[in-house]
Amino acid sequence: MNRRPLVNHTGSVLIFGATSAIAADVAQRFAAGGATLFLVGRSEEKLTALRDDLLVRGAPKVETAVADLTEIASHERVVAAAKQSLGTLDQVLVAYGVLGDQRASETSVETTLRDWQVNATSTIALLTLLANELERQRFGTLAVISSVAGDRGRQSNYVYGAAKAALSTFLSGLRARLSKAGVHVVTIKPGMVDTPMTAHMKKGPLFASPARVGHDIHQAMLRGRDVVYSPWYWRGVMLIIRLIPEPIFKRLPL
Amino acid sequence: MKRNVPQPPTKTYASWGRYPKAEPCGVIPLDWRDELPDFAALPASVLPYGYGRSYGDSCLNENGILLDASGLRRFIAFNDTTGVLHCEAGVRLDDILSLVVPRGWFLPVSPGTKFVSVGGAIANDIHGKNHHRGGTWGRHVRRFELVRSSGERLTCSPEENAGLYRATIGGLGLTGLITSAEIQLKPIKSAFIDEEQIRFESLDEFMELAQESVDDFEYTVAWIDCFVEEGRYIRGHFMRGNHRQAPDRPSDASRALPLVVPFNLPGGILLNQYTVRAFNTVYYHRQFAERVHKTIHYEPFFYPLDTIQSWNKIYGDAGFLQYQCVVPVENDNAAIKEILSRIRRSGEGSFFTVFKTFGEIASPGMLSFPRPGVTLALDFAYRGSSTLELLESLDAIVRASGGAVYPAKDARMSAESFHTFFPAWDEFSAFIDPCFSSSFLRRVNGEDAS
């Protein structure tokens, strides 16, 4: 088993959806520890701004690739470029996704399927490719941001939740398979986080900062955890929500 | 998601004093410096907002739009050899410290809290315990990028767009949006400060200590107990220090856990005349010896209150006002004596009173607050008109003495006072961006409806 130190990871880190607030925070933590990074995102300008920041924080080398990961055809090119840049894939974080608009999805098949393509289909396609790379490599950590929303379908965001449920289930099986090859699969289930993705939502006490969640993800990756709720209390909250019998649950305004 | 449409605020945007309460009509979070809204197309005036550490209303824009710059929190470049740091305007000073102290660099000027943004530090032209040696923050800003509502992105430095450079330093966020800045840091050998604390029992003693410390101490500040009996003007502790010259050992690293005041204490119940008086007496006597030498980490030396997060909430929901003024040293410090005596007679005690001399080093900023003299900073729980009347009477003393009151901490000075304190206003006002405004600006221009 390939155990990494908990603070300074001087190996390689590959991040998909790197310019999201949570992923950028994780990247900053790895950079401060001296890791080499490869960032994938949609915007050249944002990737450059993040790259400069990571170089100042202590990353010896940061390279980037622009890609729209919903286009599955781009995956092979990007993964090849990352391998070329990093050598080995020690730590991989898949962090892209879209919250979507539940109301819009209810009246539009197109919207539903488009969001599903981002959060489920394309992510699962990418994970299939990455899993095979890591399995061949026989070490490494593959962390993926799922969501507490995937733990139970709620009327307020079940389209997003269903995609995340598919992702969590996929990761559960993948974890069991890759554990034979010494590869860790980490499922991250954040609760509500105060990021640009939730900028329109009223902030209450349950909202966590990207830094809080970034810390949890960084530690979970370094420690090779299995399923991590962030912040930790969501594990209890979701346990209760899962225990509510369906006849009652369907009447709740959740 | 496009950010060109202001959203209703999804969290509280207050100032540190929590007085006055002034809600914006909308907020635009800024996440990328190349992805900014078109200010001119917005339905109301805009004002940049960082972390809400200004005390009064200079960071508020009632019924206007706040540009939340906390998303602009990335470093751009750092040169270990020259100590020049280029970063986005929402980077906090604590972000800078944790990056640069291990590499042997330090902030050129440290205010009383490290939780302020670089943009805010420029807009308020902040000062610290080394004013007599280093001047204000603005002196160490090599250049910054300013985005105007015309869409122009201007590099401002002493050579380029010099007028806007001088207007923006201390310009209270009114000249445009600062997106990034280049700061000259200063080299240090250690994260520790060699500190000396000396008790003093009169204003003359304080003045002597301040005078004798100018050349040999990088940092000086004093805390005073303003409750001593009438006739004796003050007593207090004079603190002075220098960066330790010996390099640190690994065992030196230690940090205190942060304390948090989680909610507004009802009615500021902890703070009344008696507790404040008792605190000040105890604080004065905590040091038995007349002089104490010690070596302490830079955090407790510069930022003692940062270990208590949200300490402002001890004043309760009504909030508090901080009053910071500077008055010239002349006439045997008549103005300072009058101010202290006026406060003592009012019975409104200040929990924590800070005293310091400012040096002669001029700032490039047109509206910069520090000027040669003695500066005094006091906290007052907001108790309605009696508090406002007291502060107005202090303004009168400051006006007569030729001093000034610090806009970053102000929530109530009159338009007349402001224009007396800041005669460069006429020159400055030509640089105000037509789409930018603040509650402070409207107040000192006499424009507020209320």
Q: What is the pLDDT of residues B250-301, one digit of tens each?
A: 555 544 444 566 566 655 556 666 777 777 777 777 777 788 899 999 999 9
Q: Across the interface, do B1 and A196 touch by the CB < 8 Å criterion?
A: yes
- Is the CB of A200 less than 8 angstroms away from the CB of B32? no
The predicted-structure confidence for B232-256, as pLDDT tens digits, reads as follows 668 899 999 999 998 877 555 544 4
Which string of b and e fits A26-52 if b means at least 16 CB within 10 Å?
A: bbbbbbbbebbbbbbbeeeebbebbbb
A81-90, A186-195, B278-287: range with lowest mean pLDDT: B278-287
For the packed helices A210-223 and A21-32, what is the interaxial angle rounded to 10 degrees? 50
Taking a C-beta distance cutoff of 8 angstroms, is the pair B335, B325 a contact?
Answer: no
Q: Which two tokens stand for residue A164?
A: 């995340």
Q: Provide the b/e sequence for B281-294 (b: ≥16 CB within 10 Å).
A: eeebeeeeeeeeee
**Which tokens sit at B144?**
């910054």
**Model pLDDT for residues B290-345, shown as the tens digit of each residue:** 888 999 999 999 998 887 778 888 888 899 999 999 999 887 889 998 998 898 88
Whether residue A6 is predicted with pLDDT greater than 60 in this model: the reply is no
Average pLDDT over residues B184-196: 96
Residue B117: φ, ψ to 5°: -85, 160
- What pLDDT, on the 0 to 100 scale, is given for residue B273? 66
- Total-model pTM: 0.92
What ipTM was estimated for this complex? 0.91
* Catalytic residue status for A96: no
Note the pLDDT tens digit of each residue in B62-106: 999 999 999 999 999 999 999 999 999 999 999 999 999 999 999
Q: CA–CA separation, B356 vs B375, rounded Å?
A: 5
CB contact under 8 A, A199 and B32: no
pLDDT digits (tens, 9 = 90+) for B121-162: 999 999 999 999 999 999 999 999 999 999 999 999 999 999
For residue A171, report the phi and psi dihedrals to the nearest 5 degrees.
Answer: -65, -35
Per DSSP, helices labelled H in B239-384 are 273-285, 298-302, 334-346
Question: Contact B77/A52, CB-based, under 8 Å?
Answer: yes
Residue B220 contacts residue B210 (beta carbons within 8 Å): yes
Residue with tokens 């997106």: B179
Mean pLDDT across the stretch A124-135? 98
Give residue A96's pLDDT. 96
pLDDT at position A112: 95
Residues of A in contact with B71 (CB under 8 A): 21, 196
Contacts of B35 in chain A (CB under 8 A): 45
Where on the phi/psi map is residue A2: left (φ > 0), alpha (ψ -120 to 50), or beta? beta
pLDDT for position A2: 42
Between B7, B35, B87, which is nearest A200 by CB? Answer: B7
**B17-40 tens-digit pLDDT:** 999 999 999 999 999 999 999 999
**Residue from A96, A160, A229, A233 carrying the catalytic annotation:** A160
Residue B322: the pLDDT is: 94
Q: Measure in Å the smallest separation between the Cα of B147 and chain A Cα atoms.
A: 17
> Which residues in chain A (174-213) have CB-CB distances under 8 A to chain B?
194, 196, 199-203
Q: What's the mean pLDDT when you consider all of chain B?
A: 90
